[in-house]
Amino acid sequence: MVRALAIDVGTTSIRTAIVDEQGSVSHIQQQKLTVTSPQPGEVELDANEIKRLVLELSAKTLSEGGACDVVGITNQRATTIVFDAATGEPVGPALGWQDLRTVIDCLILQGENIRLAPNQSATKAKWLVEHSGRPSKELRFATIETWIAYVISNGALHITDTSNAAVNGFISLDIASWDQHVLDVLKIDNAAMPTIVDTMGSHGNASALGNIPITALVGDQSASLFGQSCITKGTKITFGTGAMLNMIDGSSGPETLSRFTSGCFPIVARSQDGKLTWGIEGIVLSAGSCLEWIKNELGLVADFNELEPLATSVPSSDGVSFVPALAGLGTPYWDFGARGGFFGLTRGTTKAHMVRAVLEGIAQRGADLVLASEEQTGVKHEEIRVDGGITANEFFLQSFSNFTGLRVSVSTEREATTRGAGLMALVGAGHLSLDQVEKLWSPAKEFTPQIDDEERATLRKNWMSVVARTEKTIPELSSVQF
Residue 453, pLDDT score: 97
Measuring CA to CA, which residue among 216, 208, 462 is closest to residue 357? 462
Query: DSSP string covering 213-243, please?
Result: EEEEEEEHHHHHHHHTT-SSS-EEEEESSSE
Give me the half-sphere count of Cα atoms (radius 13 Å) on the Cβ side of residue 159.
24
What dihedral do alpha carbons 13, 264, 412, 226 form, nearest 10°? Answer: -90
pLDDT tens digits along 222-281: 999 999 999 999 999 999 989 999 999 988 899 999 999 999 999 999 999 999 999 999
Q: Which fold has domain 229-410+451-482?
A: Nucleotidyltransferase; domain 5 (3.30.420)
- For domain 3-221, the CATH class is alpha beta
Task: Please give the biggest Cα pair distance in the chain.
Answer: 66
Residue 251, pLDDT score: 85
Query: Same fold for the domain at 3-221 and the one at 229-410+451-482?
Result: yes
Measuring CA to CA, which residue among 257, 118, 114 is closest to residue 175? 257
Residue 250, pLDDT score: 84
Query: What does residue 292 show for φ and ψ, rounded to 5 degrees?
Result: -65, -40
Q: Which residues of the chain have pLDDT under 50?
A: none
Residue 126, pLDDT score: 98
Residue 252, pLDDT score: 87
C-alpha R_g of the chain: 22
Query: What does residue 64 show for φ and ψ, rounded to 5 degrees?
Result: -85, -30
Domain segments of the chain: what residues? 3-221, 229-410+451-482
Spatial neighbors of 316 by CB under 8 A, at least 6 apart, are 356
Q: How far apart are CA 373 and CA 381, in angstroms?
A: 9
